[in-house]
Amino acid sequence: MKRIEHRFLQLAIVLLILLLAFSCSKSDSQKITADDLVSYEKITGLEFTVSERDSLLSDLEYAKGEYKNIRKTKIENSVSPRLNFDPRPRDFKINNEQKTICWNLPATVELPKNKAELAFMPVYKLASLIKERKITSVELTQIYIERLKKYGDTLECVITLTEDLAMAQAKRADEEMAMGKYRGYLHGIPYGLKDLFSVPGYKTTWGSVPYKDQILNDYATVYQKLEQAGAVLVAKLTMGALAMGDVWYNGETKNPWDLSQGSSGSSAGSASATAAGLVAFAIGTETWGSIVSPATRCGVTGLRPTFGRVSRNGAMALSWTMDKVGPICRSAYDCALVFDVIRGKDSLDNTTVDYPFNYSEKTDIVKLRVGYLKDLFEGEDYPGKSTDLQTIEVLKMLGVDFKALNLPENLPVNSCAIILEAEAGAAFDELTRSNADDKMIQQHKNAWPNIFRKSRFIPAVEYIQASRIRDLLIEELNALMKNYDVIVCPSFGGDQLLMTNLTGHPCVVVPNGFDNDNHPTSISFIGNLYDEATLLAFAKAYQNATEFDNQVPPMFK
């Protein structure tokens, strides 16, 4: 018996030694080696000596342990880094006087015999009809809800129909009107929210499979401001998964002008639903073209405000230093009305400012200093070139005196895209580490899962260096913009779209015609920081002289 016990003891010791050996072998295989550093040097373009690599190894092992400690902390997407981007140049000054805006809403708008036509009326006309009690908010809301039910699936632009909430808000709007309480020009007007804004009781899916059942308990500030203004939320609209493109977890949002096309951008549902008359206006966001691109594709008007003009509280974060919130509407005048409601300081978003918005219809565009990117307009062919050149001629006929200019060309603008990539990688760090990114629909090399993985290889030094180049870019562009009130440019010309998103400058994108396939085209107007008022007045003058903002996709009339 003792011999058997001794044999078992020997066997146990052998197994323990093997287990320890396996454990050590596994542990050693996880250690950083000099060969690993050689591979890393190839990525960063650096070259260390043998002794330098040897010195690095123990420090990197220590750092790896600290990274693990950081990852043990649960960080919600809503938590921003303690680094707030400020787009203002060093010598920035602004007149803080807020003047009274005279909106001059038309008082003679007639109710159409065919009430279906109301779906395509601009906000300023709908506001007049409600204020003059020619239609109720309940009636108007029912029209949009019926259209959302009829066309939402066709366009794949609706994630959640908020019918019960909408009818309650519309009923309240009508009751207040009956009591003589009028909240303003958005009182009783139905609208849609891009589905990255949280509204308690409703899903906030961010357009992506891993979050498709997510319900957040925070009220987005933009939603609260619109509710206080009396607006009626009828739907939460589709967005490209995690704010990229037009593909979401249940399909691809369509262009109302051509159902074989996606609606582009990531504010895909906001632009598509507005163009097709499913909402009176919508709220979108832009980090790098997500208002400009879908507004172009769908033939509507979009405002990308100055960075920090509109609170992002309650909105999904993609890039804390580049995300912006703005309206997508049928006209520049509508954008002005909506922007006036949603702008302003918010203690829950430390990047926000409380600067004036002195919009005036009396702005004389002839007196404005207007520049245009001549080389882009007159250089190589690009989609929409002919309609852009026609726009220049229309503006000249209105008395605009153009000055040719070039944007800063001495700095590597496109290289600064790593700022977005690094911040997006941080925003969705847990998604990458948990491998839940495998659930996302798009898995090609230019989709988020691969970009998030790529972001892990961006050195912190390069991220900071890109931020320093961004600072130089801000100073150079603002020095140039001092000489102009508006810059007219192709919506996708050169690197202006990324440049102005990096510098935080405002942009109004307006439809300006159709290409040979009857797809809408657009042109962009860039303005000075916090001067959305001039931009919108300029855009309205152009739209007063043209009819492109009144065009309707034929299949949705």
What proportion of the chain, given as a percentage, has pLDDT over 90? 88
> Confidence band (pLDDT; 50, 70, 90) for 40?
confident
Question: What average pLDDT does the segment 205-234 reach?
Answer: 98
State the average pLDDT over residues 240-262.
98
- Terminal CA-CA length for the chain: 94
Rounded average pLDDT over 501-525 = 98
Instruction: Name the nearest CA neighbour of 496 among 526, 472, 476.
Output: 526
pLDDT at 354 over 60: yes
Least confident of 45-54, 230-239, 317-326, 393-402: 45-54
Mean pLDDT of 214-224: 97
pLDDT at 26 over 70: no
- Joined tokens for residue 507: 């942009």
Residue 221: Cβ within 10 Å count: 23
Cα separation, 196 vs 194, in Å, equals 6
Per the DSSP assignment, residues forming a β-bridge with 19 are none
pLDDT of residue 355: 98
Residue 15 in this model has a pLDDT that exceeds 60: no
Average of pLDDT values for 270-276?
A: 98
Q: How far apart are CA 131 and CA 125, in angstroms?
A: 10
SS (HEC) of 374-425: HHHHHCCCCCCHHHHHHHHHHHHHCCCCEEECCCCCCCCCHHHHHHHHHHHH
Angle at 411 between CA 410 and CA 412, to 5 degrees: 130
Average pLDDT of the residues in 28-39 = 84
Using CA atoms, how far apart are residues 463 and 39, in angstroms rounded to an integer? 20
State mean pLDDT over 338-355. 98
pLDDT digits (tens, 9 = 90+) for 295-319: 999 999 999 999 999 999 999 999 9
Q: What pLDDT is recorded for position 46? A: 86
In DSSP notation, 323-379 reads -EEEEEESSHHHHHHHHHHHBS-BTTBTT---------TT--GGGS-EEE-HHHHHS
Q: Residue 99 in contact with residue 359, Cβ under 8 Å?
A: no
* Closest by CA position to 244, among listed 483, 532, 28, 441: 441
**Average pLDDT of the residues in 234-253:** 98
Question: Region 495-505: what's the mean pLDDT?
Answer: 98
C-alpha to C-alpha distance for 172 and 110, rounded to whole angstroms = 24
Higher pLDDT, 380 or 348: 348
In this structure, of 1-15, 50-64, 245-259, the range with the lowest mean pLDDT score is 1-15
- Per the CB < 8 A criterion, the answer to whether 496 and 292 are in contact is no
Q: CB–CB of 233/169 below 8 Å?
A: yes
The confidence score (pLDDT) of residue 5 equals: 45
What integer is the mean pLDDT of 14-34? 54
| pLDDT beyond 90 at 27 | no
How far is it, in rounded angstroms, from Cα 244 to Cα 452? 13
Secondary structure class of 230 (helix, strand, coil): coil
d(CA 11, CA 20): 14
Give tens-digit pLDDT for 130-174.
Answer: 999 999 999 999 999 999 999 999 999 999 999 999 999 999 999
Q: Are 534 and 336 in contact (CB under 8 A)?
A: no
In the structure, what pLDDT confidence band is assigned to residue 29 with cuts at 50, 70 and 90?
A: low
**DSSP labels, 130-198:** HHTTSS-HHHHHHHHHHHHHHHHHHHT-EEEE-HHHHHHHHHHHHHHHHTT----TTTT-EEEEETTB-
Q: Compute the distance between CA of residue 220 and CA of residue 313 in angstroms, rounded to an integer.
A: 6
Q: How confident is the model at residue 11 (pLDDT cuts 50, 70, 90)?
A: very low
Mean pLDDT of the chain: 93
pLDDT of residue 332: 98
Query: pLDDT value at position 18?
Result: 38
pLDDT digits (tens, 9 = 90+) for 356-406: 999 999 999 999 999 999 999 998 899 999 999 999 999 999 999 999 999
